[in-house]
Every structure is written in structure tokens, then in C-alpha cells.
């Protein structure tokens, strides 16, 4: 006589996690006759047949039996692995439920690579600074990992290793700072930062991050802009002054000074609580000018 066995179902959430990370197994068991199977152990074994965990059915809703969700650690090497859930004690094949296979997937750790504080206008042939941050998607210690800065032609212009310093206020963002040589002529290039591949317990995906390097001709003129409140004529510190690609902030006296190449510019002066002021400027000589800003009225509380 053929014996009908019940079924076991395992849901893996999330389906993919970082190598060495944790995922959750949700186990449901249905008996051949819809029996109450509380107390039935379920053995979870990995791809090598090693026991991961044994858990007991502890709930029955009249049709389906459930075990409390368990958290398991996936393998350290990336890949998809076939694991098995086997009802019953080891060596006891009398359980009325068939074993079931399921897949857990371990991903290579992602490496996030950030580049910031690259000046928007770099005088051709001069040196410039850039900040680089590296973070693993699983929060691995990145100390000692190599970082390279590669120019548009593929040449490595600088390299360094992460010292272990974290960017202030971050949660595991390792940082490095670079001093780099700019191209000799005025142009815009795309450079890259990359993390040098390294051996370790966990495999990290190769990562690059592109950033723009804009070189400009040597500065010819000085543009001095004083930001003031139009109504009170009070100087306005911490205002942003943008004459693309040049940028500056006003100082405590409300003054920003930009060294620029000759040409036509759209100058914006803006900052908290003020509508941006815009002016077209043809720079053919040193310029000193005032930028009166209109205060944005506070939101009305009448309405």
C-alpha cells in the first residue's frame, strides 16, 4: 500500500544576503491528513550535510503546522547552496512528512566607493585635493585596503591604503585623502577611484567610482562680490557665490573673492532665507560689485 506523506515548505527571506550574513527561514509543514504535528523536530542541514539547526513545530492552526522563524548564517563564499529540511529525529525515518530542499544564496559583499570635495574648477597643471570614502555593504573592516586614483588615460595618479580612519559621523565609512596632479591643459576629464582587489575572508566586488576633473586656464581676473541684504544693507556671510565652474562662499564681511579666467558668466549669489540673485557678467578686468539679496518672507501664520 502506498503511503502518502505530508509536505514541508521553507521560505528564505531575504532570498539573497551578503556572504557570511544572516537570513531567516520560515517553515510550514502540512501532515498527510492535516494532522497536528506540534513537537515534530525539523533538522536543517547545509550543502555539505552538516547540521545547521534543529527546530520543533510549535504551532498548528487546524491545517498547517509552523515553527518559529529561525535565523541562519549563509556561507562565507558567494554562491547558491542547496540545503535541506528533514522532519524527524536523526536516524528516525518514520516522520509522516517528506524532506524538502531549498536554496540559500550568498552574495559577494558590495563595496561602496565615494569621491567628494573635488574642486569644480582646477587650474591646469596645478595640484588638487579629493576625499575618498569606502564602505562595505556588510560593514567589514576596510583598514589596509588599497585605493587607486586613475586618470582618463588609465594611468594611476595616486594610491594609498585606508588607515582605519572613519569619516566623522558615519557608520563604517573609511576615508582617505589624495593630493592629485591636474592635467596640463584646460579640459574636462573623467577620472576614477577604485578599490584594489584583496584576499580576505569575504569576497568584495570590484568597485570603481567616476568623478569629473575640470581644468581651467590660469586665473586672469579677480571678482569680488559683497552680498548684502537689500533692505538693511547688512553684509551676508555664508552666502554661496557660483560663477560656473567657479565657486566660493562669502566670509564674515559678506565678501567672496573668485579668481577667474576672462569670459562671460552667470553669477548666482544665494543662501538661507534669501531669494537667489542672478547677474550676467562679462569679466574683462578685475571687478568689485555688490549683490543685494531679497529676503524671503517668513511663512505666514495668518492662513
Among 14, 125, 181, 273, binds another protein (CB under 8 A): 273
* 83 vs 246, beta carbon nearer another protein: 246
Residue 138 lies near another protein (rule: CB under 8 A): no
Size of the chain, expressed as the number of residues it contains: 303
* 105 vs 137, beta carbon nearer another protein: 137
Residue 302 lies near another protein (rule: CB under 8 A): yes
Among 72, 100, 173, 219, binds another protein (CB under 8 A): 173
Among 21, 87, 133, 254, binds another protein (CB under 8 A): 133
Do residues 143 and 166 lie in contact, with contact meaning Cβ atoms separated by under 8 Å?
no
* 83 vs 174, beta carbon nearer another protein: 174
Residue 172 lies near another protein (rule: CB under 8 A): yes
Nearest to 134 by CA among 179, 172, 177: 172
Among 66, 73, 107, 112, binds another protein (CB under 8 A): 112
Residue 24 lies near another protein (rule: CB under 8 A): no
| Through-space distance between the first and last CA atoms of the chain, rounded to whole angstroms | 82
Q: How far is the CB of 233 from another protein (least distance, A)?
A: 19
Region near another protein per CB under 8 A, out of 2-10, 66-74, 114-122, 178-186? 114-122
Which DSSP category does 15 fall into? Answer: S
Residue 183 lies near another protein (rule: CB under 8 A): no
Q: How far is the C-alpha of 129 from the C-alpha of 158, rounded, in Å? A: 11
Nearest to 213 by CA among 192, 189, 193, 194: 189
Q: In this structure, what C-alpha cell is assigned to residue 93?
A: 525515518
The Cα-based distances of 144 to 153, 160, 198, 199, 231 in angstroms read: 26, 9, 10, 11, 56
Residue 120 lies near another protein (rule: CB under 8 A): yes
Half-sphere exposure of residue 81, counting CA atoms within 13 Å on the CB side?
Answer: 25
Do residues 148 and 156 lie in contact, with contact meaning Cβ atoms separated by under 8 Å?
yes
Do residues 83 and 101 lie in contact, with contact meaning Cβ atoms separated by under 8 Å?
yes
Tally of CB atoms within 10 A around 112: 14
Hey, which residues between 207 and 266 contact another protein (CB under 8 A)? Answer: 210, 212, 214, 238, 240, 242, 244-245, 249, 266
Region near another protein per CB under 8 A, out of 79-87, 112-120, 193-201, 284-292? 112-120
Q: Which residues bind another protein (CB under 8 A)?
A: 110, 112, 114-117, 120, 133, 135, 137, 167, 169-173, 188, 210, 212, 214, 238, 240, 242, 244-245, 249, 266, 268, 270-276, 278, 296, 299-303
Amino acid at each position: 500500500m502506498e503511503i502518502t506523506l505530508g509536505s514541508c515548505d521553507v521560505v528564505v527571506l531575504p532570498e539573497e544576503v551578503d556572504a557570511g550574513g544572516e537570513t531567516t527561514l520560515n517553515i510550514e509543514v502540512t501532515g498527510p491528513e492535516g494532522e497536528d504535528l506540534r513537537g515534530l523536530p525539523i533538522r536543517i542541514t547545509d550543502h555539505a550535510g552538516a547540521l545547521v539547526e534543529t527546530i520543533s513545530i510549535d504551532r498548528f492552526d487546524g491545517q498547517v503546522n509552523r515553527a518559529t522563524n529561525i535565523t541562519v548564517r549563509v556561507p562565507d563564499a558567494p554562491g547558491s547552496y542547496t540545503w535541506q529540511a528533514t522532519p524527524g529525529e536523526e536516524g528516525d525515518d518514520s516522520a509522516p512528512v517528506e524532506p524538502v530542499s531549498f536554496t540559500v544564496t550568498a552574495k559577494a559583499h558590495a563595496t561602496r566607493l565615494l569621491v567628494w570635495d573635488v574642486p569644480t574648477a582646477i587650474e591646469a597643471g596645478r595640484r588638487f585635493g579629493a576625499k575618498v570614502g569606502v564602505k562595505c555593504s556588510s560593514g567589514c573592516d576596510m583598514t589596509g585596503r588599497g585605493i587607486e586614483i586613475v586618470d582618463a588615460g588609465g594611468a594611476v595618479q595616486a594610491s594609498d591604503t585606508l588607515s582605519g580612519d572613519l569619516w566623522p559621523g558615519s557608520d563604517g565609512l573609511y576615508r582617505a585623502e589624495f593630493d592629485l596632479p591636474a592635467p596640463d591643459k584646460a579640459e574636462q576629464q573623467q577620472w576614477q577611484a577604485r578599490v584594489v582587489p584583496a584576499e580576505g575572508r569575504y569576497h568584495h566586488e570590484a568597485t570603481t567610482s567616476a568623478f569629473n576633473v575640470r581644468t581651467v586656464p590660469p586665473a586672469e581676473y579677480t571678482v569680488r562680490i559683497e552680498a548684502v541684504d537689500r533692505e538693511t544693507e547688512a553684509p551676508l556671510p555664508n552666502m554661496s557665490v557660483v560663477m560656473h565652474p567657479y565657486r566660493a562662499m562669502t566670509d564674515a564681511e559678506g565678501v567672496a573673492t573668485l579668481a577667474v579666467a576672462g569670459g562671460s558668466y552667470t553669477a548666482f549669489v544665494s543662501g538661507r532665507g534669501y531669494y537667489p540673485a542672478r547677474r550676467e557678467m562679462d569679466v574683462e578686468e578685475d571687478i568689485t560689485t555688490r549683490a543685494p539679496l531679497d529676503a524671503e518672507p517668513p511663512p505666514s501664520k495668518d492662513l
